[in-house]
Every structure is written in structure tokens, then in C-alpha cells.
């Protein structure tokens, strides 16, 4: 009986530690601001959810105010605006680059895929080309964060 209780206690402890570990490793919620009728925004949100991110989506008629509050420069504007882990995320940024941002915690305001390049997550399709994920800093400077290959349908 003692051996059974010890084994049960050990198994319970391991299970509890495992669940605590998975809760600590959970991805943070991405809060997305988008226009009500945007289909590619919905596809990008689905891309994030498939990567394990919880997503809260909010429809806005005009995203300029949100972008201004989050410090998104006009040159970095994309289709939709998001916030996660204290960073701004603008446009069709791949989930893998958001995960990298959260892991590395660089000294930037946010990352962006300016415009709406074909082949980015949510904009899959024929004729996509290589595109860049950009990062920008508080001082106004920017740099290439990653170079991405287009995604097919």
C-alpha cells in the first residue's frame, strides 16, 4: 500500500508540474484591431490561432487612432494592427516572427509587414514574392527583422 501511495503521489506531482509548466509556456493573447469587412484579417487571425496564439479581435472603422496610440509610423502601416506582449504588430506578420519577438524581447516598438504583400499569412496566393518584416524603434529608426518567402494557398 505504501508503494502504491508513493507512486500515486509521484504521478500526481509530475502531472501538476506538467500542467503548471504548460500554463507558464502559454502564448500571450494577441489583441487585433481590424476593419469590420476585412477577409484577409480573418485569415491572419486564423493563422495566429493555428500557431497557438489566443486572439481577441476588435472591429474599428478607422485604425489611425489605434496606430497612433501604439506608436506605429505611417511607413509601417499594414492591413490591421495588433498588440501582444507590450509590442505593436502591424500587418500580415508571420506567427513565427511574433514568437521570435516575444522570445528575444528586442528594444523595438514593434514589427510590421508594411502594405499587403501577396504570399504573407492571410494573403496567400499566386504570384507572391519575398517580403520583409520590419522592426522600428522609438527614435524613429527601422531595420529588417526578417526576410520571408511567400506562402502558397
Helix (H, G, I), strand (E, B) or coil at 129: coil
Give me the phi and psi of 104, to 5 degrees please: -85, -25
Structural domain boundaries in the chain? 27-148
pLDDT greater at residue 82 or residue 14: 82
Helix locations, 73-151, DSSP H: 95-104
For the cut 90, the answer to whether the pLDDT of residue 101 exceeds it is yes
Reported as a single tens digit per residue, the pLDDT across 8-55 is 333 333 333 333 333 456 899 999 999 998 899 999 999 999 999 999
What pLDDT score does 21 carry? 31
Predicted TM-score of the model (pTM):
0.82
What pLDDT score does 8 carry? 35
Superfamily for the 27-148 domain: Glutaredoxin (3.40.30.10)
What pLDDT score does 109 carry? 98
What pLDDT score does 151 carry? 80
For residue 113, give the DSSP letter: E
The overall average pLDDT reported for the chain is: 86
Measure the CA–CA gap between 45 and 68, rounded to whole angstroms.
22
Amino acid at each position: 500500500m505504501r508503494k502504491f501511495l508513493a507512486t500515486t503521489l509521484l504521478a500526481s506531482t509530475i502531472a501538476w508540474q506538467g500542467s503548471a509548466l504548460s500554463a507558464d509556456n502559454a502564448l500571450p493573447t494577441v489583441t487585433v484591431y481590424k476593419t469590420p469587412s476585412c477577409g484577409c484579417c480573418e485569415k491572419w487571425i486564423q493563422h495566429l490561432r493555428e500557431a497557438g496564439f489566443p486572439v481577441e479581435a476588435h472591429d474599428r472603422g478607422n485604425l489611425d487612432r489605434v496606430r497612433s496610440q501604439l506608436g506605429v509610423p505611417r511607413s509601417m502601416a499594414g492591413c490591421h494592427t495588433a498588440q501582444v506582449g507590450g509590442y505593436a504588430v502591424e500587418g500580415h506578420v508571420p506567427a513565427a516572427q511574433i514568437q521570435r519577438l516575444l522570445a528575444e524581447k528586442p528594444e523595438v516598438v514593434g514589427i510590421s509587414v508594411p502594405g499587403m504583400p501577396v504570399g504573407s499569412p492571410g494573403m496567400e496566393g499566386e504570384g507572391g514574392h519575398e517580403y520583409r518584416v520590419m522592426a522600428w524603434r522609438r527614435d524613429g529608426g527601422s531595420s529588417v527583422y526578417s526576410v520571408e518567402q511567400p506562402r502558397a494557398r
